[in-house]
Structure 1
Amino acid sequence: MIDLTNKKILLVRNDNIGDLICTTPAIEALRKKYPNSQIDIVVNSYNYSAIDHNPFVDKIYCYTKPKHKKSLLDKLKAGWGKLKILLAIRREKYDAVVVFRSDYSKSAELFSNITTATYKVGVKNPKGKDHFNIHIPVDDTKHEVEFCFDCLKEFGVKYHDEKTLFYVPKSLSTKYSQFQGFILFHISSRKVENRYSKEKFKTIIANLQNDTILLSAEPADFAKAQWLSEHTKAVFIKTSSLEDLSGVIKNVALFVTLDGGAMHIAPALGVKTIAISGATNMKKWYPWGYKDLVIQDKSKIADNILPQTITEQIQRASEHIK
């Protein structure tokens, strides 16, 4: 075992918000193993909220990806911000770097390469060389939470029932406290294969005896959610951001969602989650702690799932809800 007691450790997780949420149990376990070590992390502006206020990290390096900016000036500003972070990381003289990415990422490895760390952990570059000296095998039958623990195996870090974490400001949970005990449907998903028709959602809601039902959606699906609110007993809550949505989720008793970042937020808040999945590998990405509540058709197309199948799963999961 490699001992990192009193060492400086840099973690890198610069992809999506759900991915970073899945990393939080490993970060907690790392802190428990090395309470006196310096543990810092690199994230981006898109996933920052998944690590904000996390009690197990010391410093958060947050940068904006230049590709996410439209104007040349904004791209240059983002590039300059990233460069300043790379220089700060170089000066810190880390002893170990762990890149939590289950697919090789050149941009993520850059944060490792800028250091003089003795131990550099990451997955192998399938197209050529990389500079990691501890390679982590990728097993797509394992959950992402488990993969993150594999990344820390050489340092003696083990899983002890750590939960995923997501911070919700008290102001947001209080804002939506009137929805305690409700069922919340989140009807948006980025990929076509993971989407579900409004007509089928209408059938599901009509079949439920529960009258305390909410709807949430991404801006692209606001019209769809509004249509559902006009044709069912469900109430549409138009949230302004993913963080705002988390305030609603924090209060509800059951979260029914299509695949996306919100699917990982709910379990991190201790909310029972039913995932309606399409093309996603749900062995790797199911809502942590709620594997048995995943609904997925063999076709890997969410809209092929019968409304009755989803209705029955909701009824079983919400028996305690009045």
Structure 2
Amino acid sequence: MADSTSCRIHGLDRLEPRRILCCQLRQIGDVLLLTPSIHMLKKRWPNAVIDVFTEKKCAPVLENNPDVDHVWALDRKMGVLEALRYYRTVGTGGGRGRYDLVIDFQQLPRIRWVMLFSDAPVKLSYPPPWYNQLVYTHWAKVSGPYAAKCKAGVIMHAFGLPWENEPPRISLTEAEKAHARAELASWGLAPGQTLVTVDATHRRVSRLWPAGHYARLLALAAQQRPDLRFLLLYGPGELDMATQVRDLAREAGLGAENLLLPPRLTTLREMAAIQSLAALHLGNCSSPRHFAVAVGTRSLTVRGSTSDAWTYPGGGHEDVSLGLPCQPCGESGCPHDLKCLTGLAPEVVLPRLLSMLPPAA
């Protein structure tokens, strides 16, 4: 979503939408970063119905969100004809009423189909390429540098909404938090111990701090803070990466009691509830760092190819990087043997980690 000075927002100053559709299909972290925009819309039009069109895997992020009335959850396994019928249903409101305002925050082909089927008088997005301009009635430039502010820039510039540094939001229930406490206790967390969640996984090697570096960092931290308990998070297909960190950490001298590896895959909401009980989240640049912000847990992110635009500019959220001339490149591969990650020693990250922890009980 590149910034642009081009802007087409004429005729929106008197808009009073009764029904709004926000479109952001993926990824999970990006849908979470959409929630500040949704809250801004709800604050501006408190009586408006706000629906969201997203992918099925992302829908749990929006569950129980008081700003969201309905979630259209796309199953990407649909056949072509079934999918087209679904896009038409979403675009026309599915019998729930016509949308007055549809906002495309991502400009993916599936969203454009929804736009084409919709008869909403206002179809808003950030500046599209010339060959897609007929899909939209209005567009507005984005803002930055924080990723959620960049996303919100469309509605900020279109409707004159102020940015108030809204954090991402996830609405957890007390039952979900109680379940997380019980699970942590069953996995070995005892009263008086300090929980740190660790996301040592990533699909892109340019964002993946080496497993051996994580292992040594955890071992060094536990030497100075024996009360620390590190819980390794992992998603579908990532158990092997988490297990490798566990095994290497034990080889580095970390006691088995200091490391928790969930015996099963947690759901997104279970992960968020667990993070809400942690003193700190440590990890790569991926969605768990945004969940930490959403639940009010401090976070420290190891950066490789990504920029600091993904770091929430409120207190308690930091990132660490070597600051090489090639950073950030934003690339998935690397012609420099991933020196931005391999060259970032655990000993450099250790003082940052310790400084962000609360005193031992």
TM-score (norm 2): 0.77
Change (3 A) 1:216 1:292: closer
Change (3 A) 1:83 1:304: farther
Task: Pick from 258, 269, 276 the counterpart of residue 243 of structure 1.
Answer: 269
CA offset digits 1:43-75 (Å, max 9, x no partner) = 111211111111001121111113xxxxxxxx4
Tell me, in whole angstroms, the C-alpha distance in 2 between the residues paired with 1:146 and 1:107.
Answer: 24
Shift of 1:318: 1.2
Task: Pick from 301, 305, 310 the counterpart of residue 275 of structure 1.
Answer: 301
Q: Which of 1 and 2 has greater Rg? A: 2
Contact 2:199 2:233 in 1 (8 A): yes
Tell me, in whole angstroms, the C-alpha distance in 2 between the residues paired with 1:279 and 1:194.
Answer: 6
**1:259 partnered with 2:285:** yes
CA offset digits 1:4-28 (Å, max 9, x no partner) = 4352211111111111111111111
Q: Give the corresponding residue for 1:152.
A: 155
Shift of 1:307: 0.9
Change (3 A) 1:134 1:85: closer
Q: Percent identity?
A: 16
**1:23 partnered with 2:49:** no
Deviates more, 1:174-183 or 1:304-313: 174-183
CA offset digits 1:170-208 (Å, max 9, x no partner) = 344223324574122221111101112232222212222
Change (3 A) 1:110 1:296: farther
Contact 1:225 1:236 in 2 (8 A): no
Shift of 1:246: 2.0
Q: Give the corresponding residue for 1:317.
A: 356
Contact 1:215 1:235 in 2 (8 A): yes
Alignment of 1:43-82 (within 5 A): 43-66=54-77, 75-76=78-79, 80=82
Change (3 A) 1:282 1:32: same
Determine helix, strand or coil for the equivalent of 2:57: coil
Q: Give the corresponding residue for 2:132.
A: 129
Tell me, in whole angstroms, the C-alpha distance in 1 between the residues paired with 2:286 and 2:316.
Answer: 15
CA offset digits 1:215-267 (Å, max 9, x no partner) = 31322413213314533133123251333322321110111011211111111
**1:302 partnered with 2:341:** yes
Alignment of 1:179-258 (within 5 A): 179=189, 181-208=194-221, 209-211=224-226, 212-218=228-234, 219-228=239-248, 230-231=250-251, 232-233=254-255, 234-238=258-262, 239-241=264-266, 242-258=268-284
The amino acid across from 1:116 in the alignment is D
Task: Pick from 11, 16, 31 the counterpart of residue 5 of structure 1.
Answer: 16
CA offset digits 1:141-174 (Å, max 9, x no partner) = 5222112321112223222343211233434422
Number of residue pairs the alignment of both structures matches: 309
Change (3 A) 1:228 1:167: farther
Shift of 1:292: 5.8
TM-score (norm 1): 0.86
Gap runs ≥5 in structure 2? 1-11, 328-339
RMSD: 2.5
Q: Give the corresponding residue for 2:112.
A: 109
Tell me, in whole angstroms, the C-alpha distance in 2 between the residues paired with 1:183 and 1:291.
Answer: 14
Contact 2:142 2:154 in 1 (8 A): no
Gap runs ≥5 in structure 1? 67-74
Deviates more, 1:117-126 or 1:296-305: 296-305
The amino acid across from 2:347 in the alignment is Q
Contact 1:258 1:277 in 2 (8 A): yes
Tell me, in whole angstroms, the C-alpha distance in 1 between the residues paired with 2:269 and 2:141.
Answer: 33
Contact 2:87 2:117 in 1 (8 A): no
Tell me, in whole angstroms, the C-alpha distance in 2 between the residues paired with 1:40 and 1:181.
Answer: 39
Change (3 A) 1:189 1:287: farther
Q: Give the corresponding residue for 1:164.
A: 168
Tell me, in whole angstroms, the C-alpha distance in 2 between the residues paired with 1:273 and 1:99.
Answer: 30
Q: Give the corresponding residue for 1:69.
A: none
Tell me, in whole angstroms, the C-alpha distance in 1 between the residues paired with 2:69 and 2:233.
Answer: 34
**1:95 partnered with 2:100:** yes
